[in-house]
Amino acid sequence: MNYTQAIAYLYSLADYEKTRIERYTPEALDLLRVERLLAAVGDPHTRFRAVHVAGTKGKGSTAAMSESCLRAAGYRTGFYTSPHMHTFRERIQVNGHKIAREQVAALVEEVRPAIKDTPGVTYFEAITAIGFLYFGRSEVDVAVVEVGLGGRLDATNVLMPEVAVITSLSFDHTYLLGNTLAEIAYEKAGIIKPGIPVVSAPQRVEAIRVLEAVSREREAPLTEVGRDWDYAPGPADLDGQIFTVRRTIGGVSELDGEYWIPLLGRYQLENATSAIAALDILRQRGFCIPVEAVHKGLRSVHWPGRMEILSREPLIVADGAHNPYSAQVLRQALEEWFPGQRWVLIFGASADKDVAEMLEVFLSISEYTIVTRSDHPRAASPVELADVVAAVGSGAEISVNVNKSLRRGLAMMNPDNGLLVTGSTHLVADAREEWARYTGTPLPDNDNE
């Protein structure tokens, strides 16, 4: 089996990233099935320590910052994230390096009999097992693992981590996770384990009440950013931003101080503070994480597609805002970093998203709107998106793909406009690749499948 065949086999399994899952229930997502699959390959998830990260907004950024700091501290790290932007291999990394094609092929071939003997294994469950097996074989010291969907029934929830982190919670996947923040918080709180510390980013009242109740029930010490830790923004420019952080309850921490991150948007400061709070807990649990390593890790973190400036001249910004809350946060960040800026908008989103509410956020800062679709099965059709734009009270040009829309967007710009590409991670990935082709500059983080 070669790499292409291995990927094709994985995609042949039930893939709820491409086909909408109808029920978030133990019948559809069975942790016992995941445990049986992992047992068949030697329970690799028990051979490394872990940081487990769930949330609606910011979980990828928080996980990336945590992993970068642990690696800077000298630990051999695993990093498990989803979805991927350019290549499947992004999902499974050791010490900052994507898993090799040969390793993917070999591990899929090895795990395939166990998958066959475990009826119902999904795409995400299979790659979770492969990722954990790769981490175990690579003898990582600690893996930072991002939840795929929800938390309670997610395949990654077989882990017994050193610390769990729950980032900002808002409305997304409501047809699966619930129509209230309390219901969504309950599903995310499923990663809280008895006696295991948990860190929460700032939450709205009904969400934090659930996290506090579950933590009390499971006797899991809860650290809250905004209560136990606080942060203050500092100077910022297009290269990054300075902020100060301090522990406000429990005494002074050696990690208190001023930091710089190369990520834009004030929302990244609560993600960074959540990561620092988790690192502080790891230090209390015996990890050697010098302050210098946290500085180095945060300064060197790489997390593309989140308020990423693809070009300053002309100004092109790409962000995978994929729900109304993310759209609002992105707009606030744009207004702070680019005050008064008007945008040519290139928008595409998954069909199961609240695109009307997302578009309402962006249309008020848009001079011209182009609706398109990524090369993803769940992408909404441009015609449907144009109808939504019309219903909101505006007009949009229809473009069949990102390649054409990026060129059209550039043609519609004037010296006073920026170009904003947003709506989904898949759209941003396509735009990054097209911009690289357009400029003849290969993306440093894309080696294609």
In tens digits, what is the pLDDT along the chain, a chain of 449 residues?
A: 999 999 999 999 976 655 555 554 555 568 999 999 999 999 999 999 999 999 988 999 999 999 999 999 999 999 999 989 899 999 999 999 999 999 999 999 999 999 999 999 999 999 999 999 999 999 999 999 999 988 999 999 999 999 999 999 986 655 566 679 999 999 999 999 999 999 999 999 999 999 999 999 999 999 999 999 999 999 999 999 999 999 999 899 999 999 999 999 999 999 999 999 999 999 999 999 999 999 999 999 999 999 999 999 999 999 999 888 889 999 999 999 999 999 999 999 988 788 999 999 999 899 999 999 988 887 899 999 999 999 988 899 999 889 999 999 999 999 889 999 999 999 999 999 999 999 988 775 555 44
Sign of torsion over alpha carbons 357, 413, 318, 346: positive
Q: Please list the residues that pair with 316 across neighbouring strands.
A: 311, 419
Give the C-alpha separation, 186 to 151, whole Å: 9
Q: Name residue, tokens 């848009």.
A: 366
Give the model confidence (pLDDT) of 231-260 as tens digits.
999 999 999 999 999 999 989 999 999 999
Q: Please list the residues that pair with 260 across neighbouring strands.
A: 242
Give the C-alpha separation, 73 to 50, whole Å: 15
The pLDDT value given to residue 449: 45
- The count of other CB atoms within 10 Å of the CB of residue 96 is 12
The pLDDT value given to residue 375: 82
Give which of 192, 189, 191, 221 is closest to 208, Cα–Cα: 189
Sign of torsion over alpha carbons 175, 178, 180, 185: negative
Sign of torsion over alpha carbons 22, 23, 26, 30: positive
Give which of 195, 193, 175 is closest to 184, Cα–Cα: 175
Domains belonging to the chain, first-starting first, are: 3-299 (3.40.1190.10), 308-439 (3.90.190.20)
Q: Which residues are within 8 A (CB) of 287 and not within 5 positions of it... i.e. 6 or more apart?
A: 70, 73, 75, 142, 162, 279
> Is the CB of residue 404 less than 8 Å from the CB of residue 300?
no
Give which of 33, 248, 323 is closest to 155, Cα–Cα: 33
pTM over 0.85: yes
Query: Is the bond into 314 cis (omega within 30 degrees of 0)?
Result: yes
Q: Which residues are within 8 A (CB) of 426 and not within 5 positions of it... i.e. 6 or more apart?
A: 83, 348, 350, 374, 375, 376, 379
Give the C-alpha separation, 422 to 320, whole Å: 5
